[in-house]
Amino acid sequence: MQYPDLLKHDLDQKELSLILHAVTGHLYTFAVSSDMRWGKDGRVESMGEDFPNGFYQLMPHKMDDGFFDWYCYRRDEQQFFASPQTATLHFIYYWTIWQGQGKPKAF
C-alpha cells in the first residue's frame, strides 16, 4: 500500500496504529478534540455539522525516540485533522523528513 492510499481505504484506528508501528517502530494512539486551530492566527474550527467526529491527533502510547517532541515543536498549531487517516498520512510524512535529517532533537 502506498501511503497516500491511506485516504482511499476505510482503515480503523487500530489498523492505522499498526501501520504507524510498522513504519516507526513505536505505538501511537489517537486523541480526539472538539476544537481545532490551524496555525497560530488560524480560525478555530469546532465539532459540528462539518466535523461531526471532532479532530484527531496522534500521541505516543509511551515514550518514542524523540520524533513526537520534534513533530510537536515543528507543527505546534498543525496537529489536528478531520480524520484519523489524514492525521496518519501527515504523521508519516513528517516522520520521513525527521528520519532523513538524522533524527534531530526538538530544541
Q: Please indicate, yes or no, if residue 107 is contained in any of the structural domains.
A: no
Q: Please indicate, yes or no, if residue 56 is contained in any of the structural domains.
A: yes
Report the C-alpha gap between 100 and 39 in whole angstroms. 25
The grid coordinates listed for 26 are 513505536
Helix, coil or strand: residue 101: coil
At 19-70, the pLDDT tens digits run 999 999 999 999 999 998 877 777 888 888 888 999 999 999 999 999 999 9
pLDDT at 76: 85
Q: Please indicate, yes or no, if residue 22 is contained in any of the structural domains.
A: yes
**What residue numbers bound the domain in which 27 lies?**
3-100
Report the C-alpha gap between 79 and 25 in whole angstroms. 20
Q: Model confidence at 18, in pLDDT bands (50, 70, 90)?
A: very high
Mean predicted lDDT score pLDDT of the chain: 89
pLDDT at 43: 80
Predicted model pTM = 0.85
Domain count, the chain: 1
Give the pLDDT mean for 79-86: 92
Name the residue with cell 515514550. Answer: 63
Cβ atoms 57, 80 nearer than 8 A: yes
Q: Please indicate, yes or no, if residue 19 is contained in any of the structural domains.
A: yes
Q: Please indicate, yes or no, if residue 17 is contained in any of the structural domains.
A: yes
Q: Please indicate, yes or no, if residue 48 is contained in any of the structural domains.
A: yes
Q: Model confidence at 8, in pLDDT bands (50, 70, 90)?
A: low
